[in-house]
Structure 1
Amino acid sequence: MTGLTIRPFFWRPTNLFPETRLVSRTHDGIVDSSYAEFGERVRSLIAALADRGFGPGDRIGTFGWNHHRHLETYYAAPLSGAQLHTINVQLGDNDVVYIVEDADDDVLFVDPGAPFETIERLWADLPVEEVVVMDETVPETEVDAVAYEALVAEYDPIAEDDLPELEEDYPAGMCYTSGTTGRPKGVEYTHKMIYAHAMMVMTPAGLDISERDVVMPVVPMFHVNSWEFPYAATMAGATQVYPGPAPDAADLLELIEREDVTLTAGVPTVWIDLLEHVDEHGGDLSSLERIVVGGSAAPEKMMRRYEDEFDVTVEHAWGMTETMSIGSVSRPKARMTDRDRSRRYEKRRKQGLLSPGLEMRVVDDSGEEVPWDGDAAGELWVRGPSVATEYYNRPEANEEDFKGEWLKTGDIVTVDEDGYVEIVDRAKDVIKSGGEWISSIALENALMAHDEVVEAAVIAVPHEKWQERPLATVVTAEDGDPGEAELRDHLQKTLDQPDWWLPDEIRVVERIPKTATGKFDKQGLREKLDVIDVETGDR
């Protein structure tokens, strides 16, 4: 073994914290195990992969939710010398076929139920050799499939000294972007990238994970390495709780109460739903210390409620597939402790300080860096040991999205005098009205600060005179009925912006479409409202 690989991430918990618990919600109930059992099972799976001819140069796809078998595959695949490729279980059929073909996966590890039914339906179009059903049995099927538990039971664990030799530049992981602006793009991660990113996430300047934590990653394991929790939490020796297939707010609350979860993570909509569930049914969140949110901006109203009512800190983070997820975390600096609460929230609601090991630039349309004054906006560029420098099999996208070692993120941001990054908008979502920018994110956050608004999404609609104007959609609370005039008045009082920022129309809708990872699906919203994209002419 040479260099920085995930081998120590496997050795440390299995040897130093063998009794620490791993808890997994499955379709059959709760599975309670330990790092000692995890180590044995991973080494059995490595032996099974080797015997079936899978190893260095092969790509092992997974199509499943958050549970102990998926965690074991997270380690067995790269420790065998192969590359782990996580695939979003909520993608449409066409995207699944495209991604599996583009990645050229050799074998798929698939959850029972809906994920397996998808693969079964698409089997004739998929190039894989075999399917491993992550369960005790295989349903009656024409798919060439074997049960996960049968594999683990059949093979004796490979000895630690006999694990394959690894190099830090071996491909270890792979994930595809969401594809909201075109075909999904593959991003590959080497052992060295995973090592660097997991160590970054563990630090106090990152997510500060230690063996005292009980960690429940709600962010899906099929999404950007589950924000690095399966590697960082395992390396730390933390107790881990995996919430299983399609967890809802009731499932999450039950696990928090049952396992005394201290740290969890997911997109803001998950935690908005949990608050609504607790409001209606009650619940005990006393063990919970921190919630890490990302994917979209967290409403300050939600952050304050968790802090005021449950003594839970909501920490903003930012990242993307190309940065292996976490690229910044927002918490006030030590010297800001004595500031009043409103000034601390000015920092906390931003995307925060860049993670250790990363560097950034913020550049305008001419490529010149903008000042860090909290007002000047530009595109965020980042580089570092965990940042991708190219896409898999997409040379045309490489020229557009990378400049040497720099990743051009597509996020329009400001940076204040203390170095805190705040995303103004995605380049594709910023509203360009009369030559000026309007931030859809700022409008959404302001709308969700209204007591009777649960969710809000703002999109651009074409305008003959101003090119684009904002249109807002809101989901109101069950007992709420704010009129458009009331919401407009609320925006005027909340936003420190001129009146032309205000949406021309605010529509109340029953629901706002979301992507497979819980973000607001603005393309889906445009289609639902039959709105034409001004630049592309698409709906």
Structure 2
Amino acid sequence: MESLMMDRQLLLSSLLWRTERLFHDKKIITRIGDGQYHEYTYREYGRRVRKLANALGRLGVEHGDRVGTLGWNHYRHLETYFGVPGFGAVLHTVNLRLFPDQQRFTINKVADEVLFFDPDQLALVEELVDLGIPTVKAFVVFGDTVPETRLQNVHAYEDLLAAETDEFEFPEFDERDAAAICFTSATTGDPKGVVYSHRGMVLQAMCLAMHDKLGMSEDQVWLEVAPMFHCNGWNIPHTALLQGSTLVLPGVHPQPIDYVRMVSDLKVTGMNAAVTIGTLMRDAVHSSGRDWDLGSLQTMWLGGQAPSKAIMNWWAEQYGTYVTQGWGMTENTPQICFSAIKSTLRENAGDDELLALRQKQGQPIPLVQIKILGAEGEELPWDGESVGDFWVRSPFTASAYYDDERTAENMVDGWFRTGDVGAIDPDGYVILKDRSKDLIKSGGEWISSIDLENALMAHPKVREATVVNIPDEKWLERPLACVVPTDDSLTEDDLRTHLAVDFAKWSIPDRFLFVKEVPKTGVGKYDKKVVRSLYTDGGFDAVEAKLG
């Protein structure tokens, strides 16, 4: 027996329909300078999105064609988030921080037809043309004018929109059609492409809006720090638009002090960013010498890795800000888990117990199923102790990489192997121990680099810390710690004593290298492969010479 429900498609354009009618007077605000902002309403946003859709047609874009962007977090880039997929084309947000060869690879892999870019990326785009991006037929500069360039068929974004009407009827098509493409970094080889559906992105946005998840709502002023070129900005732009939240975008080349200023100026109530941003903002507050009014900031969602207890406590004590976390990846559109404390666990828990629970990665969001498999492929119990590989599936989990033979390694029998290792407690809270490649097996015993990092960053004289596995003749592998101190008086013995409270002697690193900065990936995660590569090339001396 079939249902008698209407068969309406879950398309991103349906979110815009809601926003224009219910939240037409709410605003999108973009930083354009120190204390200077561009702002307009969602009604104006919708009109410009329709103009963009008309402009795409005039540029020769057709349904299913790929459109690339090299852009920062700003309102023009946000317009492509709905204009391109709403038109029926596929948005490819090119990672600004990949190497040019990798960017060229991703553009050619998906055969982008048009490339939008910020003016500061002009030299890079010219380099990409020299390297060879033959499928790109037209270029569009996010701005009022076209800088002097040797590019052919290049347009100013504002000129394109000015020539178009805001009358455009978004087409109806299959919700499983591609809406966007992002590439995830590969441990070896080229980046891997993930193709998102309209259906998956709409469902993710609805999940984030739930009250026991992120709880995005109309009365929030949300600062989107996570780059819009990575994982669709964690789907925050779509969720903010769905719920009518005031959306704040940090603009071109933001610095930590800019985020602090935006929170103060615009009374931001929530923000999402990599864990390192929470630390850098704290340091910016200290070094500015100012007494900032940041009391409006209720929620700070930090991802990429677990925020340290030290950073959770600092923001809570200074401004009453609740630091939360989640766990996700490009292949899951991106969210897998979100950290929210069950009422039954909250009732009788003390502060230390609650803080420990918040250190876990949270429970799977709605529609996500998860399991842990042991070394022999057996499913492990949710007892908080049994450690294995995480596998997930959902309506927004990738079933394959785009035209990539590595699909067979990670997508098996309708499940996706995340590459992360850990346990799940009886209440369904995921405990991430490590990436499988970052676990350290020393003398037959497993050591979690994440646990060591969190403990090191809890030391009052440590700003950042990362731990990597290095080869050892006797034990096969040993942990090496790279630490950014806040105080020159910090010693290796201080750190050993600090770790000895919670860690067995054999799991404590033999060497602690004091460095100026921990290398980071393009999205702010600690880049352990850089440290390992330096050690492989020249041992401890090479790491200290490059980072110290």
TM-score by length of 2: 0.94
Kindly indicate whether the alpha-carbon contact (under 8 Å) linking 1:389 and 1:404 is maintained by their aligned counterparts in 2: no
Q: Any idea what the Cα deviations from partners look like across 1:471-530, whole Å, max 9, x if unmatched?
A: 1010001x342111111110001x2x3211011111111111111101111111222333
Once the two structures are superposed, the pairs formed by residues 198-217 of structure 1 within 5 Å of their partners are: 198-217=205-224
4+ residue runs over 4 A deviation: none
For residue 250 of structure 1, give the secondary structure of its aligned residue in structure 2: helix
For residue 500 of structure 1, give the secondary structure of its aligned residue in structure 2: helix
Once the two structures are superposed, the pairs formed by residues 4-83 of structure 1 within 5 Å of their partners are: 4-26=10-32, 29-83=36-90
Aligned equivalent of 1:537: none
Query: In the TM superposition, what is the alpha-carbon distance from 1:249 to its structure 2 partner?
Result: 1.3
Counterpart AA for 1:94: D
Alignment match of 1:382 (pick from 392, 408, 415) = 392
Q: % of aligned pairs identical?
A: 39
Kindly indicate whether the alpha-carbon contact (under 8 Å) linking 1:46 and 1:158 is maintained by their aligned counterparts in 2: no
Kindly indicate whether the alpha-carbon contact (under 8 Å) linking 2:31 and 2:251 is maintained by their aligned counterparts in 1: yes
Counterpart AA for 2:490: P
Aligned equivalent of 1:168: 175
Query: In the TM superposition, what is the alpha-carbon distance from 1:27 to its structure 2 partner?
Result: 6.2
Alignment match of 2:350 (pick from 340, 349, 352) = 340
Instruction: Confirm or deny that 1:318 pairs with 2:327.
Output: yes
Q: Any idea what the Cα deviations from partners look like across 1:419-454, whole Å, max 9, x if unmatched?
A: 110110000111111222110000111111110000
Q: Gaps spanning 5+ residues in structure 1: where?
A: 534-539
Instruction: Confirm or deny that 1:413 pairs with 2:422.
Output: yes
Alignment match of 1:120 (pick from 109, 126, 133) = 126
Aligned equivalent of 1:536: none
Aligned equivalent of 2:543: none
Query: In the TM superposition, what is the alpha-carbon distance from 1:174 to its structure 2 partner?
Result: 0.6
Alignment match of 1:446 (pick from 410, 433, 455) = 455
Alignment match of 2:338 (pick from 315, 326, 329) = 329
Q: Any idea what the Cα deviations from partners look like across 1:66-105, whole Å, max 9, x if unmatched?
A: 0000110000000000001111111111111111111111
- What count of residue pairs does the alignment treat as equivalent? 526
For residue 530 of structure 1, give the secondary structure of its aligned residue in structure 2: helix
For residue 106 of structure 1, give the secondary structure of its aligned residue in structure 2: strand
Q: Gaps spanning 5+ residues in structure 2: where?
A: 1-6, 540-548
For residue 69 of structure 1, give the secondary structure of its aligned residue in structure 2: helix
Kindly indicate whether the alpha-carbon contact (under 8 Å) linking 2:67 and 2:90 is maintained by their aligned counterparts in 1: yes
Instruction: Confirm or deny that 1:485 pairs with 2:487.
Output: no
Aligned equivalent of 1:139: 147
For residue 150 of structure 1, give the secondary structure of its aligned residue in structure 2: helix
Query: In the TM superposition, what is the alpha-carbon distance from 1:307 to its structure 2 partner?
Result: 1.0
Once the two structures are superposed, the pairs formed by residues 245-324 of structure 1 within 5 Å of their partners are: 245-281=252-288, 282=290, 283-324=292-333
Q: Any idea what the Cα deviations from partners look like across 1:372-410, whole Å, max 9, x if unmatched?
A: 22111111111011111100010x211100112211000
Instruction: Confirm or deny that 1:158 pairs with 2:167.
Output: yes
**What is the CA–CA distance in structure 2 between the aligned matches of 1:138 and 1:437, rounded to whole Å?**
56
Query: In the TM superposition, what is the alpha-carbon distance from 1:337 to its structure 2 partner?
Result: 2.5
Kindly indicate whether the alpha-carbon contact (under 8 Å) linking 2:94 and 2:182 is maintained by their aligned counterparts in 1: yes
Kindly indicate whether the alpha-carbon contact (under 8 Å) linking 1:13 and 1:236 is maintained by their aligned counterparts in 2: yes
Alignment match of 2:226 (pick from 213, 219, 224) = 219
Kindly indicate whether the alpha-carbon contact (under 8 Å) linking 2:390 and 2:417 is maintained by their aligned counterparts in 1: yes
Aligned equivalent of 2:442: 433
Aligned equivalent of 2:371: 361
Query: In the TM superposition, what is the alpha-carbon distance from 1:325 to its structure 2 partner?
Result: 1.6
For residue 79 of structure 2, give the secondary structure of its aligned residue in structure 1: helix
Query: In the TM superposition, what is the alpha-carbon distance from 1:258 to its structure 2 partner?
Result: 1.2
For residue 419 of structure 1, give the secondary structure of its aligned residue in structure 2: coil
**What is the CA–CA distance in structure 2 between the aligned matches of 1:355 and 1:53, rounded to whole Å?**
39
**What is the CA–CA distance in structure 2 between the aligned matches of 1:83 and 1:481, rounded to whole Å?**
53
Aligned equivalent of 1:110: 117
Q: Any idea what the Cα deviations from partners look like across 1:254-276, whole Å, max 9, x if unmatched?
A: 11111111110011111101011
Kindly indicate whether the alpha-carbon contact (under 8 Å) linking 2:9 and 2:172 is maintained by their aligned counterparts in 1: no
Q: Judging changes above 3 Å, is the alpha-carbon distance between structure 1 residues 103 and 257 closer, same or farther for their aligned structure 2 residues?
A: same
Aligned equivalent of 1:184: 191
Query: In the TM superposition, what is the alpha-carbon distance from 1:531 to its structure 2 partner?
Result: 5.7
Query: In the TM superposition, what is the alpha-carbon distance from 1:2 to its structure 2 partner?
Result: 4.4
For residue 331 of structure 2, give the secondary structure of its aligned residue in structure 1: helix
Query: In the TM superposition, what is the alpha-carbon distance from 1:209 to its structure 2 partner?
Result: 0.4
Counterpart AA for 2:215: D
Aligned equivalent of 1:194: 201
